[in-house]
Amino acid sequence: MKFLAYAKINIRLKVLGKTEKNYHNLSMVNAKISLADEIEIIEGNENKVSYSIEELNHLQDNLCLNVLNEMVSNFNLKKRYHIYIKKNIPMGAGLGGGSSDVACIINAIDKLHNLNLSLDDKIKIGLKYGADVAYCLIDNVALVEGIGEKITLLNVCFKERVVVVYPNIFVSTKDVFSKVKSYSVENQKDEIVKYIKNKDYKSLLINDLETPSFELNPNLKEIKDTLSLIGNTIMSGSGSSMLVFVNNDEQLKEIIKVYPDFFVVDAYIL
């Protein structure tokens, strides 16, 4: 069977402080977009995960294989699977590609074996493989808090057109968080819903990780400033992808004209 692991974007991201375990406490508004990795799952004689990008086939710690093995072992499944992942989501881009792949496998095994796991059950499994996995288990716009485990659906229609611009710059999430110097107050659900309904991008689009990411990668600030002249722009996650909310094809053409060598995808929020 074939499944899609959709990219995750951060429409809003605030860093609130640190937990007792030294993780960063976050308050985010997340969404899924139409850009997706393609995952094919077939029965095999052993559990195996392979990728369209060769370097990923030599990972010492393959999270997708690890979660597959855990699901098969924990639920005493008799079948084994070969999984092939066609990577369309760029890596190190702030789009949650790896986390989305892990979440997709959890959802797929649940479906294939009628395990009827609750979202909480899946989150308990997913959090072992990254803070973003919890949100990636769903496809709705949501307020995501804590280290990523607290999810509140916003129940708003926000099917906006968004152009993803990846400048071929790999950003280390760990390095970006190490540069965070100040903290914000948490997002308020009612306030966020109002911004979304009114399409108030100026108030909505905030990312506390932009400043430390730009400090590490000065070119990213220049790219954001340029894109902001074309449409409402925010960096996703720790970067380096930029999200440009557009209304027409002319804006898309202008982005491609300015950055012909960048990875540019015309997408929409699910």
Q: Which residues are catalytic?
A: 8, 132
Contact call for residues 24 and 120 (beta carbons, < 8 A): no
Q: Which residue has 């109002």 as its token pair?
A: 194
**Helix (H), strand (E), coil (C) string for the chain:** CEEEEEEEEEEEEEEEEECCCCCEEEEEEEEEEEEEEEEEEEEECCCEEEECCHHHHHCCCCHHHHHHHHHHHHCCCCCEEEEEEECCCCCCCCCCHHHHHHHHHHHHHHHHCCCCCCHHHHHHHHHHHCCCHHHHCCCCCEEEEECCCEEEECCCCCCCEEEEEECCCCCCHHHHHHCCCCCCCCCCHHHHHHHHHCCCHHHHCEECCHHHHHHHCHHHHHHHHHHHCCCEEEECCCCCCEEEECCCHHHHHHHHHHCCCCEEEEEEEC
Q: 97-112 and 63-74 helices cross at what angle (nearest 10)?
A: 20
Q: Which amino acid is at 54?
A: E
